[in-house]
């Protein structure tokens, strides 16, 4: 990766934030994933934690084990290494079933009307393409997926809901996500997914990680219930 695409800023007395691009793109997301992996593998003992996101990685380090200047040099080195043809390690493909409809998706009608599409067309366009996990955050297991077809993009609700049911599938602008737990939220809800997105007691607490690809697959209400989804 050309160096001029990487910008490093101070994020605290023991933290640096590395910006790897300024557009939402699979290329930038690859760089984020690569840098995060390199840091976690090669500097595990020096780092407290990292936070990969859309176009940046926050690096929090142990000042008793590494100095900021040295960390910065490592980051620049890892960055340079990716200027070679990138070791293109594709994320996994994860299929998530979704019960679409007006019962499970209280905003489906409004979204279809505001965007001039039929209900079926909104649903079809939502599961017609694969998405990429760009970031995980906000809450444990909340995966930001992008990007949805422009024709079904819609801004967040003017007033967020107090209670969004667990498993709800929503759209905010060109992002889509599955709510891992009941929470407040302002995304446009179009369906519900029976897969548990976060299980604190499981060996693998999340079915998806940053860089994975997601394919939604429409299911019926009864299939949703059979798969353990909330009615």
Q: Which residues bind other proteins (CB under 8 A)?
A: 9-15, 17, 24, 36, 48-58, 60, 63-64, 68, 135-142, 144, 181, 198, 200, 205-206, 209-210
Q: Which is nearer to other proteins, 32 or 219 (CB)?
A: 32
Strands 15-19 and 7-12, by their bridges, are antiparallel
Cα 114 to Cα 135: distance, rounded to the nearest angstrom: 28
Task: Determine the Cα–Cα distance for residues 83 and 66; give it in Å rounded to an integer.
Answer: 25
Cα gap 139→170, rounded to integer Å: 15
Please state the closest distance from residue 179 (CB atom) to other proteins, in A.
Answer: 12
Distance in Å, CB of 91 to other proteins, minimum: 13
Residue closer to other proteins (CB basis): 9 or 73: 9
Nearer to other proteins, 61 or 100 (CB): 61
Q: CB of residue 148 vs other proteins: minimum separation in angstroms?
A: 16
Give me the least distance between CB of 97 and other proteins, in Å please. 22
d(CA 25, CA 29): 6
| Cα–Cα distances in angstroms (integers) from residue 20 to residues 44, 54, 61, 86, 94, in the given order | 21, 9, 19, 14, 26
């Amino acid at each position: 990766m050309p160096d001029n695409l990487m910008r490093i800023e101070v994020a605290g007395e023991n933290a640096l934030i590395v910006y790897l691009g300024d557009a939402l793109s699979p290329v930038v997301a690859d760089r984020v994933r690569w840098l995060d992996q390199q840091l976690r593998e090669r500097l595990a003992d020096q780092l407290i934690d990292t936070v990969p996101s859309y176009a940046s990685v926050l690096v929090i380090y142990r000042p008793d084990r590494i100095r900021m200047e040295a960390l910065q040099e490592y980051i620049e080195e890892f960055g340079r290494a990716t200027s070679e043809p990138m070791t293109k390690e594709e994320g996994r493909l994860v299929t998530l079933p979704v019960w679409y409809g007006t019962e499970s998706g209280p905003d489906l009608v409004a979204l279809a009307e505001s965007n001039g599409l039929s209900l079926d067309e909104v649903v079809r366009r939502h599961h017609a393409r694969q998405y990429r996990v760009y970031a995980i955050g906000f809450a444990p297991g909340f995966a930001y997926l992008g990007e949805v077809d422009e024709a079904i993009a819609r801004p967040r609700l003017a007033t967020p809901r107090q209670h969004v049911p667990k498993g709800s599938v929503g759209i905010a602008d060109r992002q889509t996500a599955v709510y891992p737990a009941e929470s407040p939220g302002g995304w446009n809800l179009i369906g519900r997914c029976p897969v548990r997105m976060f299980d604190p007691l499981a060996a693998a607490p999340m079915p998806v990680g940053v860089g994975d690809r997601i394919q939604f697959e429409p299911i019926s209400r009864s299939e949703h219930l059979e798969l353990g989804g909330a009615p």
